[in-house]
Amino acid sequence: MLLKRKKLHISNLNFYAMRKKLATTKGKAFALEALAKRRKANAKKEKIDNSKLPAGSPMFFYCTSCDDLADELPENYFISKPKKLCDECQALKDLGWLE
């Protein structure tokens, strides 16, 4: 149990360090370039149509910015709202680079 906590703590530190590095002009250019690549790659991917899945299948929700998979929830997901943005786009929005 203690080992898992350490790993979680280290990954959180890495996430914040990465976010700090992105908050520069070069980081912004890199992040926006990666967003453009994701949009281009995801435009070719076929989305899963939730209405065509059998009953009991998980529901798939896609990012409104880059069309990548943002969230996968069970069919009875009414307790929690699905994410509208994937993790990468949410980080860009938090930094104010995505409208």
Confidence band (pLDDT; 50, 70, 90) for 14?
Answer: low
CA-based R_g, the chain, Å: 17
Residue type, 34: A
**Is the pLDDT assigned to residue 4 strictly greater than 80?**
no
Number of DSSP helices (H) and strands (E) in the chain, helices first: 3, 2
Element (H, E) at 11: helix 2-22
Q: Delimit the domains of the chain by residue range.
A: 2-94
Place of tokens 């069970």: 74
Give residue-wise pLDDT tens across range 26-55. Answer: 788 888 899 999 999 999 999 999 999 999
Contact predicate 39/67, CB 8 Å? yes
Name, in order, each residue with C-beta under 8 angstroms of 9's C-beta and a sequence gap of 6 or more.
none
Coil vs helix vs strand at 81: coil
Contact 21, 36 (CB under 8 A): no
